[in-house]
Amino acid sequence: PEQQLSMEFTAMLLDQILLTESSSSYAGALSLLQALSLADLEIKLEAARKLLTTTFMRPAAPQSLAKQMGWQDCITRLLVKKPITDVCSEVFPDLMSFDDDGELLDLDPGRVSPSSASRISDAAFAIETEIKEVAETVSNAVADN
């Protein structure tokens, strides 16, 4: 069972981690942010405030933070209010299915059409591309500062 971190404990731990200005302290802070990804919104908001304060109070903090592997993912997880749950409990069959003889079985064409699967795949690719572009833009902006 997962244990939830309290607001006070999280704030004190993040303060302790960010007490020194070193790459290991920023790596530790990002590890804590990763652990907070499923925490209550108030706790994530407080952690985001502390990290924002640190980046403004220490001149080298944004560059040091941007040098850490996966910093974008950790900070982005703070912005997610709650994880998306799968509401569809119905399982769709594979688009292609072969029997033992290697022949194509007839599936109900009304359930999943290849064109709808293609549109979903295209939409997922477009969203992935946009996210990568935004992450690259943010990385460049932080690295330039």
Instruction: Read off the pLDDT of each residue in 16-20 and give the average, rounded to a whole number.
Output: 91
Summarised one tens digit per residue, pLDDT across range 65-77 is 899 998 999 888 8
pTM strictly above 0.85:
no
| Percent with pLDDT over 90 in the chain | 21
Summarised one tens digit per residue, pLDDT across range 118-138 is 777 777 888 888 888 888 888
| pLDDT for residue 100 is more than 70 | no
| pLDDT for residue 93 is more than 50 | yes
Q: Are 44 and 78 in contact (CB under 8 A)?
A: yes
Q: Quote the distance between the C-alpha of residue 95 and its chain's center.
A: 30
Instruction: Read off the pLDDT of each residue in 31-51 and give the average, rounded to a whole number.
Output: 89
DSSP 8-state symbol, 68: S
Phi and psi angles of residue 120, each rounded to the nearest 5 degrees, phi first: -65, -45
User: Residue 32 burial (CB < 10 Å; 0-12/13-18/19+)?
Assistant: middle
* CA dist 74 → 9, 18, 133 (Å): 19, 16, 17
Q: Looking at 61-113, list the stretches that DSSP marks H as alpha helix, in order from N- to C-terminal side.
A: 61-66, 71-78
> CA-CA distance, 145 to 58, in Å (whole number)?
12
The predicted pLDDT at position 12 comes to 93
> CA-CA distance, 104 to 127, in Å (whole number)?
33
> CA-CA distance, 63 to 55, in Å (whole number)?
9
Phi and psi angles of residue 104, each rounded to the nearest 5 degrees, phi first: -75, 130
- pLDDT band at 1; cut points 50, 70, 90: very low
Sketch the domain layout of the chain as residue ranges: 1-85, 92-145
